[in-house]
Amino acid sequence: MSAKTLPHDLDAEQALLSCLFIDTEAIDRVRDLLRPEDFYAERNGRIFAAATELADRGEAIDVLLVKIALERQEWLAKAGGVEYLAELAQKIPTAVSVRHYAQVVQDLSLQRTLLQTGDALVRSASNGHFDRTSALTELERVIAVTRQRSGFGSPAAAPPGMGMDQILSAEELMEPVSWLPFLGHDGVVVDGWSHVIGGYTGTGKSPLIKHASVPWLRMGKRVLWVSEENFKIWRDDGDVLRSIYGDTSVPWGNQRIIPASGRSASALVKDAAACRFDVLVIDTLRQVCKPVSEKDAAEVRVALDPWLSLAGERGATVIVLHHHRKSEGEHGERFAGSEAILTPFDVALEYKFAQKENQRFLSGVRIRGGHPRPYLCVERGSDFGQLLVLGEAGYVKTRELDSLVADILEDTAEELTTREVREALGDKPPSLDTVERSLIRLARKERIRRLPPLSEHVAGKVVKWRGVDLFG
């Protein structure tokens, strides 16, 4: 196989080296992934080796010091001279994606190793010099190295000798987290983790996070929005937020907005890198990160990596808002792009319409670390009014059903069977069993009456219900 056909990406190699000149700490984020021989262009490998040696000595990585190091090895001219070093130092504006570039270089290096090994074995078999023992030994060596460098050879996360039942029941293995308050409720947003919140257009994902971020501002957190909404919308919403939460008690200056309209993804990353923040809100993934395809996991990862890397370097919390696809589905299936979108995030949440127009359900699709998934009912005032978490959604649904059933019986002078009560609940009523449980709960609280009474056995009898206001 000729060298020209071997996989490589010179742009990724140059971008990685450029990161080393931009940020002296970038070398520490890639040393576990790369070796000089991983570079397709030998001069790039030599420059990486020189940068590594400088870092080992505690020296800065800059054009002058790399030049001196290459001169000592008589490699400066073959590496392109000072001109090439200066070109590398100016190639990209920020080092936030250095880890991504390193993974690209490493992946291609491993591909070349496998291809070259296979090519050598094919040649030896073709010219009659094939030795089975030597071939198997070489294959095992290359595969072992590839597995180890790809992370497959690392030891299991669980302590040796533990059964799966022990692992599942070992509370000390659950990753400890610090929750950010979310409308007065814990268990939704984890400090320092990445989150994606999906919902149909119009559910109010942006207002949800705008209200939720007020306590974060009061805690001293700096919140950066990269938003599809323009300054005019933010001015209108800001006036409402200030009227609700006050002008002096909230440090509004700690919240900064970068409009995304008309800007490239790379320009937005560069702007965000120039800001200080503890919470990064991306509204929306499609308009800000601009993935080539939302169904291709690799493309989604490429679009998200600069943002997740930037936030990771600062220990910041990330919240990405994303539109659901139009067709229905169960949980994550509603996310446009589905698994490709969900996989990069630590926490995935859905924000969806409830039966009442002013209520929404916020439910957890997945969360790493074995923590319980939230399921909350959120009620909002008119328009952009204050949001309130009513409680666990299951309890709220039960309470709402009981209230509707009680109203139906109080508004009629007739005695109704369980089936008649269910029919009165509208086009999409709950199951007959669910309605019966609601009726029994209400009867036990003496809000309605059962005929015959709850104290009597009803096997074979017709059961009817009526409101307590019929009894004088």
204, 347: one domain: yes
Given a contact cutoff of 8 angstroms between Cβ atoms, the answer to whether 360 and 351 are in contact is yes
Backbone angles phi, psi at 283, to 5 degrees: -130, 100
Asked if residue 167 is part of any domain, the answer here is: no
**Domain with 202 in it:** 179-385
Q: Among 385, 413, 430, where does a domain finish?
A: 385
Is residue 123 a part of any domain in this protein? yes
Q: Based on the structure, what is the number of domains in the chain? A: 3
| Residues 303-327: b if buried by 16+ CB within 10 A, e if exposed | bbbbbbbbbbbeebbbbbbbbbeee
- Domain end: 385, 404, 438, which one? 385
Same domain, 361 and 405: no
Together in a domain, 191 and 329: yes
Question: What is the pLDDT, as a whole number, of residue 217?
Answer: 92
What is the Cα–Cα distance from 100 to 82, expressed in whole angstroms? 26
Together in a domain, 116 and 136: yes
C-alpha dihedral sign at 354, 360, 361, 367? positive
Whether 203 is covered by a domain: the verdict is yes
Q: Do 71 and 217 lie in a common domain?
A: no
- pTM beyond 0.75: no
Q: Which contacts qualify for 68-74: CB closer than 8 Å, 24 or more apart?
A: 70/46, 73/46
Same domain, 185 and 128: no
201 occurs within a structural domain: yes
Query: Is there a single domain that holds both residue 420 and residue 366?
Result: no
CA–CA distance, 52 with 306 (Å, rounded to integer):
23
Q: Does 256 fall in a domain?
A: yes
- Does the residue 162 lie in any domain? no
Query: Can you read off the two tokens belonging to residue 351?
Result: 């924000």
Q: What is the SS3 assignment for 457?
A: coil
CATH number at residue 9: 1.10.860.10
Does 185 lie in the same domain as 131?
no
User: Is there a single domain that holds both residue 364 and residue 400?
Assistant: no
The per-residue pLDDT for 151 is 55
Q: Is there a cis peptide before residue 452, judged by omega within 30 degrees of 0? A: yes
381 is a domain residue: yes
Per-residue pLDDT, 213: 93
Residue 221 and residue 145 share a domain: no
Distances (CA, A) of 363 to 33, 172, 184, 185, 374: 37, 26, 16, 13, 5
Domain boundary among 385, 416, 443: 385
At 230, which CATH number?
3.40.50.300
What is the chain's pLDDT, residue by residue, as a tens digit (472 residues)? 444 578 899 999 999 999 999 887 889 889 888 999 999 999 999 999 999 988 888 888 999 999 998 998 889 998 889 999 999 998 888 888 888 899 899 989 888 888 888 787 777 777 766 677 766 777 777 776 666 666 544 443 444 556 665 555 554 555 667 889 888 777 889 999 999 999 888 888 999 999 999 999 989 999 999 999 999 999 988 888 888 887 777 899 999 999 999 999 999 999 999 999 999 999 999 999 999 988 888 888 899 999 999 999 999 999 999 987 544 444 444 555 467 788 889 999 988 887 677 788 888 888 887 666 777 778 776 555 667 666 555 555 677 788 889 889 988 888 999 999 999 888 778 778 778 888 988 888 888 989 888 877 766 778 899 887 644 4
What pLDDT shows up at residue 83? 93
What is the spatial distance between Cα 74 and Cα 365, in angstroms, rounded to a whole number?
57
Residues 353 and 236 in one domain: yes
What sign does the CA torsion over 226, 332, 368, 94 have? negative
- Are 144 and 183 part of one and the same domain? no
CATH of the domain at 449: 1.10.10.10
Residue with tokens 């698994």, as numbered in its chain? 339
Q: How far apart are CA 298 and CA 293, in angstroms?
A: 9
- Joined together, the tokens standing for residue 92 give 């990209």
CA angle, corner 199, sides to 197 and 205, nearest 5?
Answer: 65
> 161 in a domain, yes or no?
no
